Structure 1
């Protein structure tokens, strides 16, 4: 499966499953879980029960989305 494009990531809901975040970063399932278990996933991971979720905004920042993209996702001039 190919990594998600920036347009696909911006269309995601506010919080996504770990494997969706891994796909956006081009990581395999095994690598994603290994990084989470070591505490080394490259952005914040929220554990909810027995599942992991990642904030989409943090993915966008991590992959280097520009200011205009972030503003479009959050609303114009949301980030100061």
Structure 2
């Protein structure tokens, strides 16, 4: 989980690994926790989301693409 006041650098995003949870992905994109879950549930999250059991996962590569960073 992340602190809403965290600064997300490209290096820090890459340090997350291959995937991250939807709350962290939302934080990177400036989306709050509740809204991130709502968007994930309805298929409206700004990047593709994978549902694994009761978790929502987001590929870090998709987040890097969304902010225009080189992978």
Residue in structure 1 matched with residue 30 of structure 2 by the alignment? 26
Conserved? CA contact 2:22–2:40, under 8 Å: no
Q: How many pairs are equivalent?
A: 67
1:53 to 2:43 alignment = no
Task: Say which one has the larger Rg.
Answer: 1
4+ residue runs over 4 A deviation = none
**Distance in structure 2 (CA, Å) of the matches to 1:23 and 1:5:** 12
TM-score (norm 1): 0.75
TM-score (norm 2): 0.84
Structure 1 alignment gaps of length 5 or more: 71-80
Higher-helix-fraction structure: 1
